A and B are shown apart, each in its own frame.
Chain A
Amino acid sequence: MKYLHLIWGAMFRRKTRTIFTLLSVLAAFLLFGLLDSVRSAFANAGGSVAGVDRLVTVSKISFTLSLPKSLLARIEAVPGVSQVSYANWFGGIYQDPKNFFANEAVAPNYLDLYPEWRISAVQREAFRNTRTGAVVGERLANKYHWKLGDKVPLQATIFPQKSGSNTWAFDLVGIYREIDPKQKDQEDQLFFNWDYFDEARAFGNGNVGWYTTRVADRNAAGQVAQAIDALSENSDHETKTQTEQAFNASLVSQFADVGLIVGAIMGAVFFTLVLLTGNTMAQAVRERIPELAVLKTIGFSNRSVLTLVLAESVLLIVLGGAAGLLLAGIVVSAISSSIGSMLPMIPVGAEIWLRGLGLMVLIGLIVGALPARRGMRLRIVDALAGR
């Protein structure tokens, strides 16, 4: 630590070059922050701790096929099940097909299964008692500037009303908040009452899209899932029950292998970065050979020269990288409040910082290794003589 000013001085010996290098490190880690945020958001879709005690039961042949409502009582009777709810995908459009968000018709007790969604008791009650009531997540409400009491019209893409109309209007009676900041995309949803939906829709009445079950003991989730599937075995509506985590993970994995794409891009970025800063460090050390020789002459050991050069390169990367991650944090919060559900992203938090810092130190060491070795092996006589 006491050599910090020495390292600092060496680093800014050529200010322009160092600033350019810092800026390209910044660009690389800005990209790292953004991409890792997206990657983590996809990875988290299956990794939320909150969903671990919930099971999702869908039709075995495809989750787009509906299930009879008669299963409800039978699932409730399965040992180990503490609460069952059901819902149906609605797929309505708000104003323009580009404004995509999930909207679902849900049973009255659906929100009870999601304790991580905070909603006041008054609003919860209002939702139960308002036939055309709807609740939305806070982020979605902010995005479209909805307030309690607003009418939200959705254009049906799947379910026209019996009257033939495609327009469904809902009264906004509640706004919920997801408590986990990493799962904020859970707020991009609109829920409305099952009874209104089932009575008014033109077809499909009496069928549900999926059942969500809370199990009493999460360790027994596997057995409960098997027991639920056994209820409809060999019938014409066989089911497939998974934890909500597994269900989300399998859905997400169908979009694309995000990890692979992001990994490939990051590989290209960091390979380039290592080369670029490696070249800068080599240049910096080459220029300073006489100075390093002087340091050795006045008593610096080989080891401390090695450490000095390594520390300089690590500091260079960490400075640029930290600035990049800071910027990434700002950009991510700007993006998630503006385009929201289009691209899932998690805030640049401790996890990403930790991974980023690890990478910075690692790259700093790789980049500094060769020049540092050169500095260490320096023979004073040759170096001072300029040989």
Chain B
Amino acid sequence: MSRAGSPWRRLGTLLSTLIALTVPIALLILAPWWLLCALLLLLALWFAATRAGQQSWSVAQIGILTMPQRLGSSLVVVIGIAGVVAVLVAVLAMAAGFEATLKQTGTDDTVIVMRAGAQTELNSVLDHDSAILVSQLPQVQRTAGGQPMASPELVVVASLPKKSTGTDANVELRGVGERAWELRPALRITAGRKFQPGLRELVAGKGARAQFAGMDLGSTLKLNGQSWTVVGAFESGDAYDSEIWGDADSVGPTYRRGSSTTSVTVRLSDAGALEAFKAALASDPRLKVDAKTTRQYYSDQSADLSHFIRILGITVGSIMAIGAVFGALNSMYAAVAARTREIATMRAIGFRGVPVIVSVLLETMLLALLGGAIGAGLSWSIFNHYTASTLGSNFSQVVFAFEVTPLLLWTGLKWALAIGFIGGLFPALRAARAPVTAGLREL
């Protein structure tokens, strides 16, 4: 018997080594790209410059060139790892897309003021007087005409039929003041025109138009028995795309809100004025409000959900990775077994253990890299800019696009390399350790 020890004991050693391996693997996963590039460079130098390196390179070449003979088991490594990376990257891309959509919605120089304690605009109520008081504070920027750069806004929810299913879903209807457009410079009208103040007219965001029926220009929507006309379409590349906008003074009566609003968004005269602005709000006994920069507000909205999706993705990815590691182990043990005689011959004529280990590891990691690239590429081609929607914190649909960022692709590749490393290391060690004589006798 060339393989000593009971399989159970070997499994025990394997598991304990696996646990000991988690540290370098974690380092690999967390390592920045330049560190890995440096390592790769060192490896190339080693191949080129040292004797052991040159030996390893030639042994590795044999392994790589004979790969097609072991097509089946090589494919198992590639596809197993491709599956893990594809799922991981897709789920993380969902989190990244959601986060990006909300984060880029806010800016640092605009501030949203809501009733104290309210986490979201939907939960907030500000009466007309409070809204005026907030706008009049000295820290608020003024237009050339001396008007405060402030937009009292009323966020409500309308239940409208979805295009895809025909069932009702919630869309956020934002009644805005006349300065709203200047407060969101990224937003532009792509078709039709802005609504006219005082009329029951709406403009619809790109995401809302894609999701909900009846958003075409000129069509009318029934809200609480009143007809509203869609007169324009807008696009801003952020969370506002999921909304429809109308005049706050028209939306209020329809929703029986009178002249109250849910929030006031203002632009400060300079970004450093936030503390002074907050202090002014706190010192006025007539106001019970909280203020945040809009960037902070929208980041808070995305934090919980994207964190949750990330944990989900990493959990699913890890479980799949465990499965893939065992698949790779099986394949590489088989690959090493098929080359037992060849490896024994090489060692008999003077090759040392290290080149053998390096060559098997290199072979596995190459297969893993290929798998990782296929998985990441698959994820990218299917899911990049794939649009989805979920219920945001204002109880209405937030449309966002998956974002398969280069960073995520890189993460996927690192996972692939880590799986390949574990999957190749043990078979490599066995190949290097097996007694030469037994190997030569093997059929």
Contacts and interface: CB of A to CB of B under 8 A. Distances in A.
Contact of B330 (A21, A30, A31): A21
A64 B156 contact: yes
B329 interface: yes
The secondary structure that dominates the B interface is helix
Interface residues of A, number: 61
Contacts of A279: 72-73, 75-76, 330-331
Contacts of B122: 64
B115 A27 contact: no
B168 A250 contact: yes
Contact of A160 (B79, B115, B308, B330): B115
A21 B326 contact: yes
A164 B288 contact: yes
Contact of A268 (B87, B120, B256): B87
Nearest to B82: A272
Contact of B156 (A21, A65, A98, A254): A65
B204 interface: no
A271 B304 CA distance: 32
Contacts of B106: none
Contact of B117 (A64, A155, A240, A276): A155
A226 B203 CA distance: 33
A253 B334 contact: no
A238 B254 CA distance: 12
A64 B75 CA distance: 54
A273 interface: yes
B67 to A, nearest CB: 15
B33 interface: no
A63 B118 CA distance: 19
Interface stretch (A12-20, A190-198, A345-353): A12-20
A203 B258 CA distance: 13
B80 A272 contact: yes
B331 A268 contact: no
Contact of A236 (B116, B157, B225, B327): B225
Interface string B213-235: 00000000001110000000000
B324 interface: yes
Interface string A19-36: 111011111101100110
A60 B167 CA distance: 13
B322 interface: yes
Interface in A274-311: 275-276, 279-280, 282-283
Interface string B328-348: 011101100000000000000
Q: How large is the interface on B (under 10, 10 to 19, 20 to 34, 35 or more residues)?
A: 35 or more
A44 interface: no
Contacts of B7: 15-16, 19
Contacts of B334: 17, 283
Interface in B144-175: 156-159, 165, 167-170
Interface string A342-367: 11000000000000000000000000
Given A16-B7, A61-B255, A155-B117, A342 B225 contact: no
B159 A61 contact: yes
Contacts of B437: none
A24 B324 contact: yes
A20 B14 CA distance: 11
B327 A276 contact: yes
B323 A272 contact: yes
Interface in A26-66: 26-28, 30-31, 34-35, 60-65
Nearest to B323: A27
B119 interface: yes
A235 B256 CA distance: 12
B51 interface: no
Interface string A77-106: 000000000000001010001100000000
A30 B322 CA distance: 11
Contacts of A280: 330
A262 B158 CA distance: 29
Contact of A31 (B168, B316, B389, B395): B316
Contacts of A28: 320, 323
A148 interface: no
Nearest to A204: B125
Given A250-B167, A268-B86, A272-B79, A63 B316 contact: no
A252 to B, nearest CB: 9
Given A20-B326, A27-B322, A98 B304 contact: yes
Contact of B170 (A62, A155, A203, A236): A62
A255 interface: yes
B76 A17 contact: no
Nearest to A167: B117
A276 B76 contact: yes
A17 B330 contact: yes
A61 B224 contact: yes
Contact of B80 (A31, A155, A275): A275
B381 interface: no
A62 B221 CA distance: 14
A362 to B, nearest CB: 18
B419 to A, nearest CB: 12
A16 B11 contact: yes
A343 B308 CA distance: 9
A378 interface: no
A238 B316 contact: no
Interface string B91-122: 10000000000000000000000011111101
Interface string A236-261: 11101000000000110111100000
Given A16-B333, A27-B326, A62-B157, A275 B75 contact: yes
A83 B414 CA distance: 60
A61 B327 CA distance: 54
25 contacts: A23-B322, A24-B322, A24-B323, A24-B325, A31-B319, A35-B316, A61-B158, A61-B159, A61-B255, A62-B157, A63-B157, A64-B122, A65-B255, A65-B256, A158-B123, A160-B115, A236-B225, A237-B224, A251-B391, A253-B165, A254-B397, A256-B388, A276-B327, A282-B72, A343-B308
Given A236-B256, A254-B169, A272-B327, 20 more contacts: A16-B333, A24-B324, A24-B325, A28-B320, A28-B323, A31-B316, A61-B223, A98-B304, A157-B118, A157-B119, A160-B288, A236-B225, A254-B390, A265-B91, A268-B87, A268-B320, A271-B83, A272-B80, A276-B323, A279-B331
